[in-house]
Amino acid sequence: MSFGTYARRVRDRNLPYGARYSALRCAVERYMPLGFNATWAYITGRAGNVRTDEAALIRALDVLEVSRKARQAELAEFACRRGADKKQRHSRTVMEEEIRYRYGCRWPGPDAHEATLRTVTALWDEHTRLPFPDVPPGPKGGLVELDTSIAGVIWTYLQRKGNLHPDHRRLLRDCLADLRGLRLSFPVSSGFFRLRKMAELIAHDALPLIRLAWAGDAAHIAEVFLAARAQMTGLPHLRSDEQTRAWVSDVMLPASVVWIAELHGRVAGFAALRGDLLEHLYVTPDAQGSGIGTALLDEAKKARPGGLGLCVFQQNTGARRFYERRRFTLMEEGDGSDNEENLPDARYRWRGIDEPRQVEPSGLNESLTCAFPDVLAHDVTAVVNALPTARHTPSASFRAIVGDDSLTIPARIYNPEPAPEALGGLSPLRRTILHCIYTRHHDGYVRRRHLRQIIGSLEPWVLPYIVYLIGEYVVEIVTDIQTSLGDLNTADSPAHRAFGRFLADNPGLLALIDQRVASYWSCYHRWDFPRLADYPGRLLVTAMRAAATSAGSAPVPGSTRLRRPQPPRAAATIPQTPPS
């Protein structure tokens, strides 16, 4: 029988109550977007004791039906767009990410956030009671890091009462991609399947779906435009609402590349790009602050990696701060003669510093050649070409801003370690580059050996390699860094100034390290350090945050461009305890 038949049986008071209760369970079997157990737990948790209370039974069915109707409306519009794509043959607005969103694990409807929070809370309670799966030692390091990264995101989401930390948006996307790529045997896969389910639920709840717009989106785009412009006081009202809707449908959509941002199945923002000019980017007032504007802007940057321009009214100070924080540079301010509102405007330009640099073909993974500043390109290429061939491609990566360069650094590499005699022919600078690369090695012993060679350096491009190690699970490495950076807490010391300047430019990286420190302490080290405040990683993060605050409030003299690097200073004595 169908869902509708079971729903009618639930409402039929002529049937025995036991049959109506069974019909509700059968209805859930026909529509269970969160899986049967999670869907049943949510609707009965909201409705009450459905086993004996008829009113609660009907309330539970109402909750289920509202969600089902919302899903049906979404899929009906989705089917229309797919049909339009097929008629146009060469047009394709439906991408893999949207298909995953439409048919993935999520709760459609107005109560999507509440359903997600309750479900993730229950899954997390179950997840934390189980031990880490018994996996082979080879891939264990990468799996432990992935497990801890996503666990930190989930834990923070729950601690913030269902609000994803802004610094975790990119991390959540990256971790989800890694989770989807796992190919593990049962029962190891069961633990990571639960982790993936929680990650997908949070992603669908907190991250917008970005998709290409089509003609059927014109009404939604117009509503977003009107709602956003209504909040912008001081703008002249040049068109009626009907004229605006016609302009969106007949002018803007046909002439521009337009992206839609959906949150909980509702259009909450859009961006329109014509050539290399971002003509429009609007988010509904109730959805602002949820990362939608940043996600739309990132999509436009991907489409125009060579550069992107835009104009904004001078009086719109909030929008100006938004673009300036995302590395748009003010080019000029105009008197408004070029816009129909005749209001003073400001023109901004973005150049592709946030995009990974074009790397040279080297026979090795490209991540190694874009992990250092441009000023070192010649030396980096020579080192990379001399490395032993990697057994596997590097796993994931992280980003760091160093001066005018955006570095993309691999999280793990799998190149065999070079023989000690091979280092004799390298210059001190190239040896430092090589040691930085091998701090990303999959073997903790190798990482620690090479860390000892660079830990005394305060070169800006070396610092991300040291900082990232603080957020890893080998406590001996973290203790080594704490021992060597004993003067980090001393104001105006060289280490305090160097790390402070670097982390003031990379607040997201510091937040990521802080989250990982808390997660690894909770999972592995709380028995040796009963208080998180006493854990070496937390002590380092606290000192680095203080240094970053000092650097952020102090003027930095001179240019930010990198100088030619100098050899590292002498490193402090480090205990020789091997990592576990």
Q: Which residue has the higher pLDDT, 144 or 36?
A: 36
Q: Which residues neighbour 440 within 8 Å (Cβ) at sequence distance 6 or greater?
A: 394, 409, 410, 411, 412, 413, 447, 465
pLDDT tens track for 464-494: 999 999 998 889 999 999 999 988 988 889 9
Q: Which residue has the higher pLDDT, 55 or 170?
A: 55
List the one residue out of 239, 204, 206 whose CA is nearest residue 222.
Answer: 239
CA distance 330 to 558: 20
Q: What is the mean pLDDT of the chain?
A: 85
Characterize the bridge pairing of strands 277-283 and 308-313: parallel
Residue 537 contacts residue 471 (beta carbons within 8 Å): yes
CA distance 106 to 87: 30
List the one residue out of 47, 289, 346, 266 whose CA is nearest residue 169.
Answer: 289
Rg over alpha carbons for the chain, rounded to the nearest Å, is 27
Whether the full predicted model's pTM is greater than 0.95, yes or no, is no
pLDDT category at 361 given cuts 50, 70, 90 is very low
Instruction: Give the residue carrying structure tokens 């909030």.
Output: 318
pLDDT tens track for 431-449: 999 999 999 998 889 999 9
* pLDDT the model gives residue 572: 35
Reported as type and span, the H/E element at residue 132 is: none
CA distance 287 to 522: 33
* pLDDT the model gives residue 579: 33
CA distance 251 to 270: 15
pLDDT tens track for 301-328: 988 888 899 999 988 888 999 998 888 8
Residue 223 has pLDDT above 80, yes or no: yes
Mean pLDDT, residues 148-162 taken together: 90
Mean pLDDT, residues 529-546 taken together: 91
Give the three-state DSSP class for 334: strand
Distances (CA, A) of 122 to 67, 82, 119, 152: 20, 36, 5, 16
Distances (CA, A) of 492 to 498, 537, 559, 560, 571: 9, 22, 20, 19, 19
Give the three-state DSSP class for 408: strand
Q: Which residue has the higher pLDDT, 555 or 411?
A: 411
